[in-house]
A and B are shown apart, each in its own frame.
Chain A
Amino acid sequence: MSILRWVALLSSVVFYRVWFPETPPPLGLRLDYELLVIALIGLYRGVTVGALAGWGIGFLAHAADPDMMGWGSLLGAILGWAVGLLKERLFLEYVLSRWLVLWGVLLAVKLVYIPFAVGLDPGMWIGSVFSAGLGSAGLSATAGVVISILWDRARPRARAVVDAAAADDGWL
């Protein structure tokens, strides 16, 4: 991926954060664009790039919130790394399996975020889990699957090259 594309991708993350600032409403529905971008990078570019991009995007996305700065980086890196690892370990060609993996990792990250967002109120936790799980994570996973399908159709040769590179990496 060229530097220009990386700049465009990071710019889109910042712009999304500016346009849709993070939520309080813990029960609200929100497309987690930055998490989705990290997951897709992990899905297509593997563990290393996923973890690096996750750290950078997490850092950038939470730059405006000093309290979340380190946590955002850490969770982003783990998310990119985890998706890349699952991509290598699991068969993700099917739409459903891809959706489940994306939903699972996004939900896991959201579950970690929830205590930061709503504090220690168990009632709020339960509501947030439902909304984050059924709502935001599901929405983001669905969007991610749609994007990945479109990307695969638009770039079949690029995907083949990536797969070949992953195979050279010794994991396929």
Chain B
Amino acid sequence: MWRRLLWWSSNRPAVIPWAVFFSILLLVLGNGVRSALSGALVRTVYAPFYALHYRIAAGADVFEDNRRLAEEVANLQIEIQRLREEKRENARLRRLLEFAPSWRGRAIATEVVGPLSPGSGTVWIGAGRTRLVEVNLPVMTEDGLLGRVSEVDSYIARVRTLWDPLLRVAAYDQRSRVSGVIEWSKGPDLRLNYVVASADVQVGDTVISSGWGGVFPKGLLIGTIAAIDTINVGEFLNVTVGPAVRPDKLEAVFVVRPSPEDLEPDVGGLVP
């Protein structure tokens, strides 16, 4: 009765007695034997699972490492961008220093705060009377002449650029010293007008301000001669000048306060 009630059956293997026997056998074995057996099992059975566990745990760390590295990359990108900006600024200032000896005035550094207006050819800059900006002062970029100040407020000023049809700049060919007047009529390029047909001008010649007119100091880079119309030649040549300043990339500008010595006497009243 008890045997049947508990676990015994005539057609059932006597598992429990054997299980108890082997368990007690394990218990009565010495610690050394059990440790050796345990060590063998750990090395053979557990070791692959420890390795798998380690790999999975390391895989979980990969996400954290990836996030940290992504942040680091983003910070480095920002740092690179900042360094590039500083490099460009450094180059601009370096060119400004190179440019400085050609005149003895003072440059007021500022930035364009309003885009170039296609209709009027003017831009707004972030410096005004508080920074001693005055009407008719020349405005430059690191690439060359941009225009002149036409209106001044306390903190901003309006600049009439080379792409303003009302602006004229006395200029000459730096190589041959042939003079003319820079004007704009259409398109991105400028025109060097009033160059007589027999004048010595060539494509690629540099055009700079002549200083005549009392507004722009002598020697400011305006551009290079891009084309000369030799077909419709009348009394004057049609000379196209590619401006040194890109109107679509206006950023940092300098308002120039030339010294009186930089300004040549007005010889003809051709220019403002």
Contact = CB atoms under 8 A, between A and B. Distances in A.
B34 A66 contact: yes
B54 to A, nearest CB: 9
Interface stretch (A14-22, A27-35, A144-152): A14-22
Interface of A: 11, 14-15, 17-19, 47-48, 51-52, 54-55, 59-60, 63-67, 69-71, 73-74, 77-78, 81, 85, 169-171
A85 B7 CA distance: 7
Interface of B: 6-7, 9, 11-13, 15-16, 19-20, 22-29, 31, 34-35, 37-38, 41-42, 45-46, 49-50, 52-53
Nearest to A19: B53
Contacts of A69: 26-27, 34, 37-38
A63 B26 CA distance: 11
Contacts of B19: 51-52, 54-55, 73-74, 77-78, 81
Contact of A74 (B7, B24, B45): B24
20 contacts: A14-B46, A18-B49, A48-B15, A51-B15, A63-B37, A66-B34, A69-B27, A70-B24, A70-B25, A73-B26, A74-B19, A77-B16, A77-B19, A77-B23, A81-B16, A81-B19, A85-B6, A169-B11, A170-B11, A171-B9
Contacts of A54: 19
State the majority secondary structure of interface residues on A.
helix
Given A48-B12, A73-B23, A85-B7, A66 B31 contact: yes
A18 B46 contact: yes
Nearest to B51: A18
B15 A81 contact: yes
Contact of B7 (A17, A59, A71, A81): A81
Nearest to A85: B7
B13 to A, nearest CB: 6
B198 to A, nearest CB: 95
A22 B28 CA distance: 24
Nearest to A75: B23
Nearest to B44: A63
Contacts of B15: 47-48, 51-52, 77, 81
A63 B52 contact: no
A74 B26 CA distance: 10
Given A51-B16, A81-B15, A81-B16, A65 B38 contact: yes
B27 A70 contact: yes
A64 B16 contact: no
Given A51-B15, A52-B19, 15 more contacts: A14-B46, A17-B46, A18-B52, A18-B53, A48-B13, A52-B15, A54-B19, A55-B22, A63-B46, A66-B35, A69-B27, A74-B20, A85-B7, A169-B9, A169-B12
Nearest to A14: B49
A85 B16 CA distance: 12
A55 B41 contact: no
